[in-house]
Structure 1
Amino acid sequence: MVALHNLKALRFGYSQSSRIVASITQRFLSGDPKPSHFPLQVQILCRHFTSEISETQPNVAVNYLINSCGLSPKDAISASKRVKLRSLERADSVLACLRNHGISQTRITSVIKHRSELLQADLEKTVLPQLEFFRSIGVSREDLATTLSYNPRLLITNLENRIVPTYDFLRSLLSAKHVASVFKAGSWIFVEGHSKKVAPNIEVLRESGMPQSCICHLLAHYPCTFMLKPEELGELVDEVMKMGFNLEKTSSVKAIRALCGRSKLKCNRNREVYRRWGWSEDVALSAFRKNPLCMIHSEKKIMKAMHDHVESL
């Protein structure tokens, strides 16, 4: 391990030789293509320092992730593999920026755990512009903090080429308030962009006969539906139509929501719950047509409602 006084000399340049080594070491670290310009002895010394610094680097990163970011030792070791802390000042600035935007330490820990590379991000080019943009479009501090804790990729997604065009696309369909809601419930759209799934899925719905008002309702209130691949959404729309839903009515929007992703698993489980109360398939389907969301309530809520209904008879 490099002695403490050697590290200080390398970092702050207390002597002329230290400044030379520091300068050359920096070139080695950054991949200078012409290190041969320097004397052989200096090159050897530089390689020595560079090697020892790289060996101690993981320890520096792990300690910082534990002490400044709140990660557990296990998570810190894992996260340290994705970041090289060349500047603790930059890392401190990123953490301070997150705190200044109302993000709690617990959520900062979650963000850094999954995206430790943020600690070396250019604050003025990535993190800060993203935070300011999301606040400017009406996302509350609480919603922003919550969303970033489970989707920190938003902070390293290109603002100009991805986030802003996606916002403009959504804004052409929805009110500013509803776009902010999409961010809260479907933030992945801003990471992936609208052209990969959202726009193609809108075309699927249009070609199936769903009016623009219902499409916008689905996008505003159930953006998770647009996580499906276009062919998967097409199959889901066909299923809803076979069940007797009219795509021109908002009940079809709720049916699509109820049969989408994990909700469909819950829907299938709840059919068994209703069967225990004597419902046939036809009765269950009739109830689903009247109120599709009745099939995705919790089992506890369904049992209580059925019990209360029986008690009232």
Structure 2
Amino acid sequence: MFKLRSPENADSVLALLRNHGLSETQISKVFRSAPKILQLDPQKILLPKIEFFSSLGISREDLAKAVARKPNLLVMSLQNRIMPTYDFLRSMLLSEKNVVTVIKRSSWIFVEGHRKHLVRNVGLLRELGMPQTCIAFLLTHCSSVLMLNPEKLGKLVGEVKEMGINVENTTFASALDTLCGNNKLVWNRSREAYKKWGWSEDDVLSAFKRCPTCMIMSEQKLMQSMDFLVNKMGWSSGMIAKYPVVMNLSLERRLIPRCSVVKVLLLKGLINENFNLGSVVIPAEKQFLETFVNRYLGKVPQLLSVYQGKVDIQDA
């Protein structure tokens, strides 16, 4: 059981954390996860680490969140762990801005350190021909992949290569993340769900190669989106397999509003059915409005209201 040796020191640590933006809830998390912090010298041990991270440009709020998620960030040696890991990340990511992104998303890298698996895994990927840009993408967006046991990463890389994904493309990095850890169970579940909608094994692999993250959404989201697109809009499941990125889009905020507009235009004979799903849901909002809403307002004045969900399709 943890025994507090110096209440005065604990009070000083508490004051330091408060002064640097941690809320009472965050401080409580810190002490539960790493009670040892209460015994560390606030000025000689804790403050230099906080000042170091602050000097990189990370905001008080983001640093507070990072410390609350991984309190041992303040326990690790500044000279022997934190700074060497920073130097390694800086050499890989080129800019302090990208390193700050890693701190915000994956502060545990500074706890684990770069020497455990990171250096070896980066070397492995370089040997396979993965460019620096893709490795940097992994570090900033999918860092857990690079902290895998090197043997596990090697096996995972082999699986992705067998699927025919180019190692020089960021999709390869995204695919590694998608198949990492528990995601593999979700991937298998999604494969079976898509097959229920008529996808073949080739359709699944083709969709995965185009958009790896279409395989790791919740089953409820997958089934609801497919039901809407296939049963309510009349698109074939094969069409969706060609534009799998649509599965990542919000049903309520993107798919339903845009498809409702298209449905009205189809019913009124203002557009024909020879357009693809991607042209409807992928473009930015401004482009969609120009293409499918603004040019038809003269003939369908309520079209914008349909898009905004204020008017039903049958009332437009």
- Per the TM alignment, residue 231 of structure 1 is displaced from its structure 2 partner at its CA by 1.3
Tell whether the 8 Å contact from 1:251 to 1:291 is kept in structure 2 after alignment.
yes
Relative to the length of structure 2, the TM-score reads 0.70
- Residue segments in structure 2 that go unaligned for 5+ positions in a row: 235-316
Please give the alpha-carbon distance, in whole angstroms, between the structure 1 residues aligned to 2:186 and 2:36.
Answer: 37
What is the aligned counterpart of 2:181 among 245, 261, 283?
Answer: 261
Please give the alpha-carbon distance, in whole angstroms, between the structure 2 residues aligned to 1:138 and 1:269.
Answer: 41
What is the aligned counterpart of 2:153 among 233, 253, 261?
Answer: 233
**Match of 1:120?**
39
Determine if the alignment matches structure 1 residue 177 to structure 2 residue 75: no
Q: Deviations over 1:161-219 (max 9, x none)?
A: 11011101111121211111111222221112111111110001011121222111211
Relative to the length of structure 1, the TM-score reads 0.71
- Per the TM alignment, residue 241 of structure 1 is displaced from its structure 2 partner at its CA by 0.4
Secondary structure (helix, strand or coil) at the match of 1:200 reads helix
- Per the TM alignment, residue 258 of structure 1 is displaced from its structure 2 partner at its CA by 0.6
Please give the alpha-carbon distance, in whole angstroms, between the structure 1 residues aligned to 2:214 and 2:160.
Answer: 15
Q: Which has the larger Rg?
A: 1
Tell whether the 8 Å contact from 1:107 to 1:149 is kept in structure 2 after alignment.
yes
Determine if the alignment matches structure 1 residue 156 to structure 2 residue 43: no
Q: How does 1:1-313 map to 2 (within 5 A)?
A: 81-85=1-5, 87-174=6-93, 175-310=95-230, 311-313=232-234
- Per the TM alignment, residue 123 of structure 1 is displaced from its structure 2 partner at its CA by 0.9
Please give the alpha-carbon distance, in whole angstroms, between the structure 1 residues aligned to 2:133 and 2:180.
Answer: 20
Q: Deviations over 1:269-288 (max 9, x none)?
A: 22222122222222111111
Please give the alpha-carbon distance, in whole angstroms, between the structure 1 residues aligned to 2:108 and 2:117.
Answer: 11
Matched residues, percent identical? 53
Please give the alpha-carbon distance, in whole angstroms, between the structure 2 residues aligned to 1:115 and 1:250.
Answer: 36
Please give the alpha-carbon distance, in whole angstroms, between the structure 1 residues aligned to 2:138 and 2:178.
Answer: 12
Secondary structure (helix, strand or coil) at the match of 1:278 reads coil
Name the aligned partner's letter for residue 117 of structure 1.
Answer: K
Tell whether the 8 Å contact from 1:83 to 1:117 is kept in structure 2 after alignment.
no
- Per the TM alignment, residue 139 of structure 1 is displaced from its structure 2 partner at its CA by 2.1
Please give the alpha-carbon distance, in whole angstroms, between the structure 2 residues aligned to 1:284 and 1:103.
Answer: 45
- Per the TM alignment, residue 108 of structure 1 is displaced from its structure 2 partner at its CA by 0.6
Q: Deviations over 1:57-112 (max 9, x none)?
A: xxxxxxxxxxxxxxxxxxxxxxxx22332x22111010011111111101111110
Q: Deviations over 1:110-152 (max 9, x none)?
A: 1101211211111122211111111211222222222222211
Tell whether the 8 Å contact from 1:127 to 1:155 is kept in structure 2 after alignment.
yes
Name the aligned partner's letter for residue 254 of structure 1.
Answer: S
Count of aligned positions: 232
Name the aligned partner's letter for residue 121 of structure 1.
Answer: L
Secondary structure (helix, strand or coil) at the match of 2:29 reads helix
Aligned-residue Cα RMSD (Å) equals 1.4
